[in-house]
Structure 1
Amino acid sequence: MSKTNKPALSLGPVYFLWNGPKWRDFYFRIADEADVAHVTLGETVCSKRQHFSEPHVAEVVERLEAAGKRVTFSTLAMVTLERESRYVRDLIRDSAHPVEANDLSALGLVKDRPHAIGPLVNVYNAATARLLAARGADNICLPPELPAGSILQILAAMPGFSFEIFAFGRMPLAISARCAHARSKGLTKDNCQFICGEEPDGLPLRTLDRQSFFVLNGVQTMSNSCAVLLDDLAPLVEAGLSRVRLSPQDCDMVAVAGVYRAVLDGRMDGAEAIAGLSSIYPGVRFSNGFLHQQEGAAWVSRGRNTAIGHG
């Protein structure tokens, strides 16, 4: 790993429904112990969940900023109701913090104000990235399904711009106006009883022959596997990658951040890091297939990684 270009670690928003005290304490520990520079807060998946975290937002922001973290607020990934539209408008208008847009409808509201672009916005090429930058975006977290070759082309086309990659966590794949999570429990979205809170790391789905498939998280569909980009980072860092994003899972994210920081700083090799993550987040399959132009659930080990950056 390059000694002269060490990207910052960032923490994305919690996609899952955690109760208020758990959500608050998670960020308190991130503030006090995690070596991350940027933290994105806010409900991204389902507006019905907002009241769980809202009572704790002010104290979480204060704790994070006192620890030197830069705080950004995420917009909803899908706006279907007037109250949701009003929430996004109020967030963008009133927030003293930068906003990360995770839905294109938010871009008309941020106008020329500096803002970030989240991984749920489809930025697949440099032309799109340039357009968003021209409209005021100062950081873009690229979607997790991009292959390394595309990422390198985007980095090369916009040297000096802040790009981020989704490097740890279950990948957000789709979002719907309907709630399959509630439906799976015999409930409806309007009367969901916040059943998704029973699975703080998502509800695993299996095929008819019992093969692991996806994970449901309320209205969101996620990968069953956890994206882990570690051995894969060096070419992207050398090309100018600015940030490496960790997406919160129901595991020790402080320890996860420690592993990634050690790899980025050259204090830990990939094999040791993978072994460490396996103990921190046990029982979960890791994947990096999208980066290697394979199916997303695939795992490409370093020994087979002979063409990264050339596809």
Structure 2
Amino acid sequence: MSELTLGPVYYLWDGPKWRDFYFRMADEAPVDRVILGETVCSKRQHFIEPYVADVVERLERAGKSVVISSLALVTLERESRIVKDLIETSDHPIEVNDLSAIGLIQDRRHLVGPLVNVYNGPTARLLARRGADRICLPPELPFRSIAEIAADVPDVALEVLVFGRLPLAISARCAHARSKGRIKDNCQFVCGDEPDGLPIKTLDRQSFLVLNGVQTMSHTCQLLLSELKELQEAGINAFRLSPQDCDMTRIASIFRAMLSGSVGADEATALIGDAYPTAKFSNGFHHAREGAAWVSRAKNNPHAA
């Protein structure tokens, strides 16, 4: 049976909102695995720390597997200590999002997140030999590359991101803070003003990217529904949903219904559009096109980019 994974919340949500989101996902969402923890910016970590233990307990009581996410970019000694302490003290599996953690984690079994560039089978095999149980492939990979990697490493569990804004880049500097006249060291956590990211437009006023603190994301939301069957046939049996500021329990339920065959792609696309009405959807990378493109296999999709 195909699995659904809920990825980490990339955005800055205040602690109670973050806690309540996961409480609801624990109680209502048909997901199998949940990735927790601050991935984007170490300065945000204190917002969620008071609630992590309660969230983990609630998720595990609901039968979900819990994985703790590591930082995606380690630039400070303090951040290096955070990653080291996480590896040494966590009782849960860890998802590695930066190769600097691979050396620290040594032979401990772990997961590899989509922010690590795994573009071919030899890389996947190397990471598996270093202890990776599961690899979430980078979202910019076209289907042909995904299928080739899956065929090359049939013994490695692979996962594909099928919903959510795509993480494109991460920087030591904070463009989000700069856009509001602040600097990273005195950002005042302005990224929290946009719980779904800060949209950026070109000089021609066309939607372009979304800023999320030090992270740059796509302005469109990846949506792979018609593509699920071919991914399954290629050997992919785990699919990741990246949290957005919308009804994620509804999103998860629609994907579960799609995987079970109780709804078709056209209906599922329309339902997800209703659950996330502000989003423009895309699937271009999967089809070897520009990432923001929508390659339609459905008859109508008013939410496409």
**TM-score, length basis structure 2:** 0.97
* Change over 3 Å in CA distance of 1:303–1:58 after alignment to 2: closer
Partner of 1:185: 180
Once the two structures are TM-superposed, the CA of residue 49 in structure 1 deviates from its matched residue by 0.3
Checking the alignment, whether the CA contact within 8 Å between 1:167 and 1:230 is kept in structure 2 is yes
Partner of 1:307: none
* Structure-2 separation of matches of 1:136 and 1:103: 15
* Structure-1 separation of matches of 2:189 and 2:298: 44
Partner of 1:107: 102
* Structure-2 separation of matches of 1:235 and 1:206: 34
Establish whether residue 89 from structure 1 lines up as the match of residue 94 from structure 2. Answer: no
Question: Which residues in structure 2 correspond to 1:91-240 (within 5 Å)?
Answer: 91-240=86-235
Partner of 1:249: 244
Once the two structures are TM-superposed, the CA of residue 161 in structure 1 deviates from its matched residue by 2.2
Q: Counterpart of 2:265 in structure 1: which amino acid?
A: G
SS in 2 for 1:209: coil
Q: Counterpart of 1:152 in structure 2: which amino acid?
A: A
Once the two structures are TM-superposed, the CA of residue 239 in structure 1 deviates from its matched residue by 2.0
Q: Counterpart of 1:76 in structure 2: which amino acid?
A: L
Checking the alignment, whether the CA contact within 8 Å between 2:265 and 2:298 is kept in structure 1 is no
* Change over 3 Å in CA distance of 1:269–1:293 after alignment to 2: same
Partner of 1:270: 265
Partner of 1:3: none
Once the two structures are TM-superposed, the CA of residue 40 in structure 1 deviates from its matched residue by 0.3
* Structure-1 separation of matches of 2:139 and 2:229: 17
Q: Deviations over 1:208-257 (max 9, x none)?
A: 11000000000000000000001011011122212100000000000000
* Structure-1 separation of matches of 2:238 and 2:184: 36
Partner of 2:63: 68
SS in 2 for 1:258: helix
Establish whether residue 296 from structure 1 lines up as the match of residue 291 from structure 2. Answer: yes
* Structure-2 separation of matches of 1:166 and 1:282: 20
Checking the alignment, whether the CA contact within 8 Å between 2:118 and 2:124 is kept in structure 1 is yes
Q: Counterpart of 2:166 in structure 1: which amino acid?
A: M
Higher relative contact order (CA 8 A, sep 6+): 1
**TM-score, length basis structure 1:** 0.95
Checking the alignment, whether the CA contact within 8 Å between 1:160 and 1:240 is kept in structure 2 is no
Tell me, which stretches of 5 or more residues in structure 2 are unaligned?
300-305
| Matched residue count | 299
Q: Counterpart of 2:129 in structure 1: which amino acid?
A: A
Residue from 4, 7, 25 that aligns with 1:30: 25
* Structure-2 separation of matches of 1:303 and 1:19: 37
Dislocated runs of 4+, deviation >6 Å? none
Partner of 1:42: 37
Give the aligned CA root-mean-square deviation in angstroms: 0.9
Once the two structures are TM-superposed, the CA of residue 303 in structure 1 deviates from its matched residue by 6.0
Tell me, which stretches of 5 or more residues in structure 1 are unaligned?
1-5, 305-311
* Structure-2 separation of matches of 1:42 and 1:283: 26
Q: Percent identity?
A: 67
Checking the alignment, whether the CA contact within 8 Å between 1:164 and 1:245 is kept in structure 2 is yes
* Structure-2 separation of matches of 1:242 and 1:168: 15
Q: Deviations over 1:89-135 (max 9, x none)?
A: 00001000000000000000111110000000000000100000011
